[in-house]
Amino acid sequence: MTTPLNERRLANAIRVLAVDAVQQANSGHPGAPMGMAEIAEVLWRQFLRHNPSNPNWPNRDRFVLSNGHGSMLQYALLHLSGYDVSVDDLKQFRQLHSKTPGHPEYGYTAGVETTTGPLGQGIANAVGFAIAEKTLAAQFNRDGLNVVDHFTYCFMGDGCLMEGISHEVCSLAGTLQLGKLIAYYDDNGISIDGEVEGWFSDDTQKRFEAYGWHVVKVDGHDTEALHAATLAAQAETKRPSLIICKTVIGLGSPNKQGKEECHGAPLGVSEIELVRDTLTWTDEPFVIPADVYDAWDARPKGIIQENEWNTLFEDYRTQYPELAAELQRRLNGDLPADFASKADQYIRDVNSKAETIASRKASQNALQAFGPQLPELLGGSADLAGSNLTIWKGCEGIQDNPAGNYIHYGVREFGMTAIANGIALHGGFIPYVATFLIFMEYARNAVRMGALMKQRVIHVYTHDSIGLGEDGPTHQPIEQLASLRGTPNLNTWRPADTVESAIAWKSALERKDGPTALVFSRQNLPHLTRTETQITDAAKGGYVLAAEQGELKAIIIATGSEVDLAMQAYSQLSGVRVVSMPCAEEFMRQDAAYRESVLPANIRARVAVEASHVDYWWKFVGLDGKVIGMSTFGESAPAKDLFKYFGITTEAVVAAVEELVAR
């Protein structure tokens, strides 16, 4: 092990800040920050291109702490290098509304690129960052003017590698030759339950070499070896790199280093005193000497690096003004100025065309209309493009052309979704990803993380109900819509026909503060006639599709394929209105007056019908109402037989309305 004394002292600053903050909070994970201190010092002081004075500089390197439980490592790095993270912020570690929450959270702390904690998703986000960098560079860079040119670095631990998502994304990263992705594996052999060799005996080097990665093993406390390994990784342009760093968890704690005791609990006051003795650190808790701060301060160098890039970009702007403006537009997340008007015209045209087609086909048609206007679209499907209908005529795979706009993700629903979160976080793209609705379950936690981070990711889910038929209960979604709708900050659209499908796509593309799930049918859905006002109101998530004749006595609420069923019932009833509710979240955002105009509070005879789990709809129909839907799993049979078998029929809706009105 070769580590100059001054570098060890700089690494020790991380250690003492970590143990002090965890002790003060009486909660946290000191072991990883202590064990990875040298790795962090080498990367952040010697390689990372960033400017703490401007954390959002577009061409900064991206850093991801996939083992997010070691968050004090990142907070210590941000504080020491000059970000807006003060000593007082460190003292508020894990406290309400602090900049230093228990796991790194995007939007809370300057310099945190993504929310991490659920293990494996950080490295997945990092793959997304690297894909975005490579694709954006291929689309915009010109000879001698590489305005998109940065690395993505990721720290990860044993838990990240045990999670199956790491296989999904690291396999794809090797296939896509993401040469500017560099990961550091903290190989400390310890997890919460103890020494991992009893349950994790993989040959990680061979595993990643099989993926097509460049792999090197080093002593994770040897700064010279770490420096050399990072240089070698940067020089490898075709393959992503994994640097396996053998470390001692909690290094510096005489009685707890190398043991699970230091993984997820404070060391204790007496042990911290021993840590200070071991590290020959004489300063009081949370006190860092001025010379250490000076050595860590990344602002002077970062300002120079950003200014150099600004000069490069001005040259780029002079030579390629249209490209420069387009890149800035995309990085800002703005749609083209004429997108809304063109999209609205397309929706009117679709209404006039009056096609009876599956909503998944209507979705593809919308992509074909909107795609040529939006070069920032970066689509993909989990090996179901022919069923999800996510490829439009302008699609080109990035595996064949790095400047393309489509990713064949393979059968990797979870990895695909977490990668899309990373692509959105990077900027410059609006990612959309697709699978069958039932397989949203594989991706569930990544969907949640995208909603938590308020990222513009579009989730396309097809085969939306028992209407998919013969594939049976393994493929028929029942509770998935309720799960999506129960996710804060996620919009879930289930359109009834071509018009609502186009409106749903427009809404998802225009939404900048969160993800959207677009849920489409396998089977054909008839066109529903609408006025201009109804088209406008459909974008509000819920609207009156068929008004009552005479006195209003009852309301039928429906979504997707069941809207036509509701309309058939409407034709047999009087005093009834039909409300199409393609997006309940958007409807609930409308003002009280609009909601009352659609669902008058005094009309308690309400029936909701949807070929999905019944529980979601009680909040709209009330305890006096009725919900016609599913409360069991499905069966394998043609769709028409299934709807009849489970009682989701026109006759059932008519009978329910008549019963409620009779009360």
Q: Point out the residues that are catalytic.
A: 413
Say how far apart CA 323 and CA 136 lie, in whole Å: 12
Helical pair 562-570 and 650-662, crossing angle rounded to 10 deg:
50
Q: Where are the alpha helices (DSSP H) in 141-216?
A: 158-162, 164-175, 204-211
Residue 159 is assigned to a ligand binding site: yes
Say how far apart CA 434 and CA 431 lie, in whole Å: 10
Angle CA 395–476–355, to nearest 5 = 50
- Cα 205 to chain centroid distance, Å, stands at 28
Residue 423 is assigned to a ligand binding site: no
Residue 69 is assigned to a ligand binding site: yes
Kindly tell me the sign of the dihedral angle through the C-alpha atoms of 343, 346, 347, 348.
positive
Residue 360 is assigned to a ligand binding site: yes
Say how far apart CA 156 and CA 125 lie, in whole Å: 12
Residue 613 is assigned to a ligand binding site: no
CA-to-CA dists, residue 543 to 398, 481, 596, angstroms: 40, 20, 11
DSSP secondary structure, 238-307, as one string: SS-EEEEEE--TTTT-TTTTTSGGGTSS---HHHHHHHHHHTT--SPTT---HHHHHHH--HHHHHHHHH
CA-to-CA dists, residue 559 to 169, 499, 538, 611, 635, angstroms: 35, 13, 12, 9, 21
Residue 497 is assigned to a ligand binding site: no
Give residue 97's region: left, alpha or beta (phi > 0; psi -120 to 50). left
Angle CA 232–234–237, to nearest 5 = 105
Does residue 583 contact residue 516 with C-beta atoms inside 8 Å?
no
Say how far apart CA 197 and CA 212 lie, in whole Å: 25
Say how far apart CA 468 and CA 474 lie, in whole Å: 11
Residue 103 is assigned to a ligand binding site: no
Task: Select from 661, 490, 635 the least CA-distant residue to 574.
Answer: 661
Pair of tokens at residue 450: 């995208």
Residue 264 is assigned to a ligand binding site: no
Composition of the chain by helix, strand, coil, percent to 5: 45, 15, 40
Does residue 46 contact residue 27 with C-beta atoms inside 8 Å?
no
Which regions of 363-477 does DSSP assign to beta strands (E)? 377-381, 406-408, 430-436, 458-462
Residue 267 is assigned to a ligand binding site: no
H/E stretch holding 3: none
Residue 227 is assigned to a ligand binding site: no
Residue 595 is assigned to a ligand binding site: no
Residues with Cβ < 8 Å from 386, sequence gap 6 or more? none
Residue 188 is assigned to a ligand binding site: yes
Residues with Cβ < 8 Å from 535, sequence gap 6 or more? 347, 348, 351, 499, 503
Residue 463 is assigned to a ligand binding site: yes
CA-to-CA dists, residue 430 to 422, 433, 458, angstroms: 11, 10, 8
Report the side by side order of strands in the sheet with 576-580: 543-546, 576-580, 554-558, 606-613, 626-630
Q: Which long-range contacts (CB under 8 A, 24 or more apart) does 95-103 make?
A: 95/25, 100/21, 100/71, 100/72, 100/75, 101/71, 102/27, 102/28, 102/71, 103/68, 103/69, 103/71
Residue 439 is assigned to a ligand binding site: yes
Residue 174 is assigned to a ligand binding site: no
Annotated binding site for substrate: 29, 263, 360, 387, 463, 471, 475, 522
Annotated binding site for Mg(2+): 158, 188, 190
Annotated binding site: 29, 69, 117-119, 158-159, 188, 190, 263, 360, 387, 439, 463, 471, 475, 522
Annotated binding site for thiamine diphosphate: 69, 117-119, 159, 188, 263, 439
